[in-house]
Amino acid sequence: MRKAPEKFVELMVGTVLEPFARLPRAHKLALASTVLLMAAVIGVRNNGDQESLSLPSLNLDRTPVAIPEDAPAPVAEAPQAKALSLPNFEYQIHSGDTLSGIFDHLGVSQAAMYQVLDSDQEILALDTLKPGDTLRFWLGEDNELQKLELRFSLAHQVIFSRVDDSHFEFKKVDIPGTWQSDALGGEINGSFYLSAQKAGLSENDIARISSLFKDKLNFARDLRAGDSFQVVRRSQFVDGEATGDTELAAIRINNRGKELNAFLFSDGSYYDADGQSLARAFLRYPTARHYRVSSPFNPHRHHPVTGRYAPHNGTDFATPSGTPVLATADGVVTRVTNHPYAGKYIVIEHGGKYVSRYLHLSRALVHKGQLVSRGQKIALSGATGRVTGPHLHYELHIAGRPVNPMTAKIPMAASVERKDKPAFEAEVKQLSAQLDQAGQPAA
């Protein structure tokens, strides 16, 4: 039996960096190089739950989502390219940190922080920082921020670079790494949640499984002692180290002699053994009525005056404040938070590789971790954050990239396409063999 996926947590940072935080600023700068060396110890890991990290200006999310988040286009960058110049500071986040507090400690202006947040509005990466993640600062004259790197894991970084006096642009770096699969399994003993946890599945994994089968199985009522489950989980590795990213390639639940299966196909959706989709079709619009598109999706948008890259990763609808906002597909709510520019927003992960986001809300009607159904009212639209007027900004991401929600080929599918059937059947055969191996967990 394998242990739960490892997550980065704060351990040593408190002892390494806290004394530093209490020093007067002049000493901080003198100490910077020493701290850089000490704080470079970032492989500290633990299997425990992550502590909450709350920022007054930002509500940092606690749980990493294994599905990669948004990106205009994931770019793999050669490690040498980033090593060209060393950062002036490297800071590992620990629980209780605030973004403005970190900037303050390092003597970096709050104005620069808001400029970074401005750029962050289209990627929403700062909200996903959690204890253990690392911030790297490159400073110019007068401690002016030139570059800020967010290191979420070995595989995922977001880099904000200064383009002029008042703007930053972002770049997302995703290293594909290698994926290794392992088979986990167990018998139902008590609740599915506890049994799955005991077998080594994470809270995210369990929520995904519950969401996938929610139309087919009532997890609270239908499962009996003696029922069992098997899962093939893929974990990402970079340079031999686990990044914490996982995906469930196959799931089987044996319920009173009946077998339920889910196989993740290369199109990013889950299907049963016969190739029938487990998810219902997505709704194209996140509202019951269709509102005028006030600003379309445009990943190549440049600011008309500065010429700087400023992608618009979603579709804006001219919704009056208070318009009911609907989940466009079944899924799990992974984030409900506030951003100074994106306003109140919700992120929903839909089985497989799909994520949707809803911004500038006046009110959220769901909470993090909640399972939602397609068409369910999840919020009321509004005008929170920085907006010129009330509207709903809606995003759809497939496998980590934002796509045009109005034109994307979204899962309308009821089954695997005929031309893909042979590839799907080969995949099912291989995954089924791995599920068979999962057997029973070690006692």
Question: Which of 275/385 has CB closer to Zn ion?
Answer: 385
User: Least Å distance between CB 304 and Zn ion?
Assistant: 16
Near Zn ion by CB under 5 A, which window of 15-23, 126-134, 388-396, 408-416?
A: 388-396
User: Least Å distance between CB 393 and Zn ion?
Assistant: 3
3-state class of 275 per DSSP? Answer: coil
Which strands form 89-92's sheet, in the order they lie side by side?
89-92, 134-139, 145-151, 156-164, 167-174
User: Least Å distance between CB 394 and Zn ion?
Assistant: 8
User: Least Å distance between CB 295 and Zn ion?
Assistant: 6
- Using CB under 5 A as the binding criterion, the count of chain residues that bind Zn ion stands at 3
Interface with Zn ion in residues 224-283 (CB under 5 A) = none
Question: Which of 58/342 has CB closer to Zn ion?
Answer: 342
Identify residue 47 by its one-letter amino acid code.
N
Two tokens, residue 439: 């057997």
By residue count, the chain amounts to: 443
3-state class of 355 per DSSP? Answer: strand
Contact criterion met (CB below 8 Å) for 93 and 129: yes
Q: From residue 307 to residue 346, what is the string marking binding to Zn ion with x (rule CB under 5 A)?
A: -------x-x------------------------------
User: Least Å distance between CB 296 and Zn ion?
Assistant: 9
- From its phi and psi, is residue 176 left (phi > 0), alpha (psi between -120 and 50) or beta? alpha
Question: Which of 177/314 has CB closer to Zn ion?
Answer: 314
Interatomic CA distance for residues 153 and 244, integer angstroms: 8
Nearest alpha-carbon partner for 93 in 127, 130, 62, 123: 130
Identify residue 310 by its one-letter amino acid code.
A
Interatomic CA distance for residues 99 and 114, integer angstroms: 10
Q: Which of 7, 167, 393, 401 binds Zn ion (CB under 5 A)?
A: 393
Please tell me whether residue 395 binds Zn ion under the rule CB under 5 A: no
Nearest alpha-carbon partner for 297 in 66, 28, 50, 70: 70
Interatomic CA distance for residues 260 and 266, integer angstroms: 20
Question: Which of 263/358 has CB closer to Zn ion?
Answer: 358
Two tokens, residue 328: 């466009």
Q: From residue 40 to residue 59, what is the string marking binding to Zn ion with x (rule CB under 5 A)?
A: --------------------
Question: Which of 247/316 has CB closer to Zn ion?
Answer: 316
Question: Which of 339/393 has CB closer to Zn ion?
Answer: 393
User: Least Å distance between CB 312 and Zn ion?
Assistant: 6
Near Zn ion by CB under 5 A, which window of 103-111, 217-225, 241-249, 386-394?
A: 386-394
Q: What is the DSSP letter of 385?
A: S
Interatomic CA distance for residues 72 and 76, integer angstroms: 13
Two tokens, residue 179: 């994926």
Question: Which of 350/393 has CB closer to Zn ion?
Answer: 393
Question: Which of 343/411 has CB closer to Zn ion?
Answer: 343
User: Least Å distance between CB 342 and Zn ion?
Assistant: 9
Binding site for Zn ion (CB under 5 A): 314, 316, 393
